[in-house]
Amino acid sequence: MKCSRFIALALAALTALVLPFSTSAQSDWPNKAITFIVPYPPGGLNDAIVRVIGERMSAELGKPVLIDNKAGAATTVASNFVAQAAPDGYTLYGGGTSLIINPTLQGNVQYDPHKSFDLVSLISFTPFILQVNADFPAKTMPELIAYLKANPGKFNMATSGIGATNHMAAEMFRARTGLKYTIVPYRGGAQAGQDVASGQAQMMFSASLEAKPFLASGKTRPIAISSLKRSPAFLAIPTVVEGTVRIMETYRDDLAGVIVEAQCRLIDPKPGFLEGLREATRRLGALLIFDEVVTGFRLAYGGAQELYGVTPDLACYGKIVGGGYPLAAVAGKRDLMELSNPRKKGAPDYTYISGTLNGNAVGATAGLATIAELEKPGAYDRLRAVGERMRAGLRDIAKRLGMPAQVAGAGPLANIYFTSTPITDYRTAMQADGRITQQLTKEMLKRGVMANFSAKMYISLVHSDADIDQTLQAVEDSLVAIRKG
């Protein structure tokens, strides 16, 4: 039988590891030592996890598992090595998201992240802890942001290397907050953490397990953890969400409102999230604004706010209000909408709203016709039924074929993600195997069904049960064809 290279890929909330395993192997595999490549120096999180797994594999397989640390070029040295190794099942790789990121950042890597390896499994999912040197003045997220703003360019943010997941986190944090600090790449998380502990660098996004010994020593202090809820292992560390509320409180005088998708595309909000935003914005005198371009009139007649029971101050809608024609709308409380009343033009508090297609007769007529259909008894019962028929069918297909997959969506929205990790946010959705998704879309077209699985499926009242069943059959036939190669 054909043996494949092994690859471990890291994709998680902000950092994680995935363990490799062969899709096929020789009947006498293994008959010699196995080499497990780690793209970082000894002492870091990847290294620690791979060593634990290597020890267990060696005990179960009865063959040595050798750990080989090949650090350099933000994991590209190791990735290039594994890509060029013999595809005989004796080279494993404990890699990370840099495997995907580096071809874009560096451009001259000697591998194709989609073709050079066989991806096997996620082995570890860990959030980041933003930690600072123990002598650093800031103790909370608002304090940190305020202090860095008051001292632009004076401090360093350590990372595991260029293109590492925590490098991306550092860049995103800097871009989102407008802060100015120097990002310093190291040859691994352990060395970077040591410099934060010693004060050579002042802060770092560290994998939680990697940060733990530094925090326990008292040489660093946690600011926030990236998980949505507090981690049972780090209950004293506030989440970034909690930090967000604190930031809102700190800058309450400058905060006009919070804009959010109530359902992040296909992913339902965590229990209490929208309610927490509603309470915080009301308490701080800020507006809560729902982007209902996707969810408006689809999830319910009252949109996401009706489905989830949280009423914002303002909401915006897209072409759904025009039945697909060019029409959009802003809705809200009377006192807020009155600010845009054309009769108030010239008043100090008048807010002008403009649009290229304002008053478009065709769009308005189509929108009225759409609303008339949606107001008919049973319309949303039908939309929910066809959506659930599609989602249940996708789950059954994945189960029958033995393919790791997650199905997401609510109401008439649905999609399938080829991953064993539950879809809880954008980051976990991005862990799905994009190659299968692209192949599925192409195979579906061959079977007369156009469905963009890279985005989502919108199911409407005109779709019959027969249409759903035809689509599901095309999905199953397409996935069988993909597996056959």
Same domain for 70 and 138, yes or no, is no
Residue 72 has pLDDT above 70, yes or no: yes
In a domain, 140, yes or no: yes
Percentage above 70 pLDDT, the chain: 93
Q: What's the rounded Cα separation, in Å, for the pair 29 and 27?
A: 6
In a domain, 3, yes or no: no
Stretch 408-429: mean pLDDT? 86
Lowest mean pLDDT among 28-32, 301-305, 389-393: 28-32
Instruction: Identify the CA nearest to 133 among candidates 215, 209, 43.
Output: 215
Same domain for 390 and 353, yes or no, is no
Residue 415 has pLDDT above 90, yes or no: yes
Same domain for 256 and 356, yes or no, is yes
Give the pLDDT confidence of 330-342 residue by residue, as tens digits: 999 999 999 999 8
Please tell me which residue, 103 or 475, carries the higher pLDDT value.
475
Tell me: cis bond preceding 213? Omega within 30 of 0 counts: no
Residue 245 has pLDDT above 80, yes or no: no
Instruction: Identify the CA nearest to 221 among candidates 235, 207, 232, 237.
Output: 237
In a domain, 8, yes or no: no
In a domain, 271, yes or no: yes
Please tell me which residue, 198 or 346, carries the higher pLDDT value.
198
Same domain for 174 and 71, yes or no, is no
Average confidence score pLDDT of the chain: 86
Instruction: Give pLDDT, residue 27.
Output: 64
Q: What's the rounded Cα separation, in Å, for the pair 65 and 36?
A: 7
Please tell me which residue, 102 or 356, carries the higher pLDDT value.
102
DSSP for residue 295: T
Q: Choose the final residue of a domain: 374, 393, 420.
A: 374
Give ∠ CA 212-213-218 in degrees, rounded to 5: 100
In a domain, 314, yes or no: yes
Instruction: Give pLDDT, residue 241.
Output: 66
Instruction: Identify the CA nearest to 296 among candidates 335, 330, 338.
Output: 330
Same domain for 257 and 362, yes or no, is yes
Which residue type does 380 have? Y
Instruction: Give pLDDT, residue 18.
Output: 33
Give the pLDDT confidence of 134-182 residue by residue, as tens digits: 999 999 888 899 899 999 999 999 998 887 888 888 998 888 788 999 9
Whether the Cβ atoms of residue 233 and residue 218 lie closer than 8 Å to each other: no
- Helical H segments across 375-484, by residue range: 379-401, 426-429, 434-446, 465-484
Please tell me which residue, 190 or 204, carries the higher pLDDT value.
204
Query: How do beta strands 220-225 and 128-133 pair?
Result: antiparallel
**Segments forming the whole domain that contains residue 416:** 379-484
Range 396-404, long-range pairs (CB < 8 A, 24+ positions): 397/472, 397/475, 397/476, 397/479, 400/476, 401/476, 401/479, 401/480, 401/483, 403/479, 403/483
- State whether residue 300 is helix, strand or coil: strand
Instruction: Give pLDDT, residue 14.
Output: 28
Domain count, the chain: 4
Give the pLDDT confidence of 346-371 residue by residue, as tens digits: 899 898 888 777 778 888 899 899 99
In a domain, 174, yes or no: yes
Q: Choose the final residue of a domain: 374, 399, 416.
A: 374
Range 400-406, long-range pairs (CB < 8 A, 24+ positions): 400/476, 401/476, 401/479, 401/480, 401/483, 403/479, 403/483, 406/432
Same domain for 272 and 298, yes or no, is yes
Same domain for 132 and 118, yes or no, is no
Q: Tell me the residue ranges of DSSP E strands in 200-278.
A: 203-207, 220-225, 257-260
Instruction: Identify the CA nearest to 390 among candidates 446, 439, 456.
Output: 456
**Is the whole-model pTM more than 0.75?**
no
Please tell me which residue, 307 or 455, carries the higher pLDDT value.
307
In a domain, 9, yes or no: no
CATH value at residue 413: 3.90.1150.10
Structure tokens at 165: 């997941």
Q: Choose the final residue of a domain: 174, 201, 234.
A: 234
Same domain for 353 and 395, yes or no, is no
CATH value at residue 57: 3.40.190.150
In a domain, 180, yes or no: yes
Same domain for 55 and 36, yes or no, is yes
In which band, very low, low, confident or very high, does the pLDDT at 438 lie, cut at 50, 70 and 90?
A: very high
Q: What's the rounded Cα separation, in Å, for the pair 282 and 154?
A: 36
Please tell me which residue, 108 or 459, carries the higher pLDDT value.
459
Same domain for 41 and 69, yes or no, is yes
In which band, very low, low, confident or very high, does the pLDDT at 243 lie, cut at 50, 70 and 90?
A: low
- Bridge-partner residues for 121, per DSSP? none
Instruction: Give pLDDT, residue 233.
Output: 82
Residue 2 has pLDDT above 70, yes or no: no
Phi (first) and psi of residue 329, to 5 degrees = -150, 150
Same domain for 256 and 335, yes or no, is yes
CATH value at residue 298: 3.40.640.10
Same domain for 157 and 109, yes or no, is no
Whether the Cβ atoms of residue 432 and residue 445 lie closer than 8 Å to each other: no
Q: How many Cα atoms are found within 13 Å in the side-chain-facing hemisphere of 403? A: 24
Instruction: Give pLDDT, residue 26.
Output: 57
- Helical H segments across 202-256, by residue range: 208-217, 240-250
Instruction: Give pLDDT, residue 482.
Output: 93
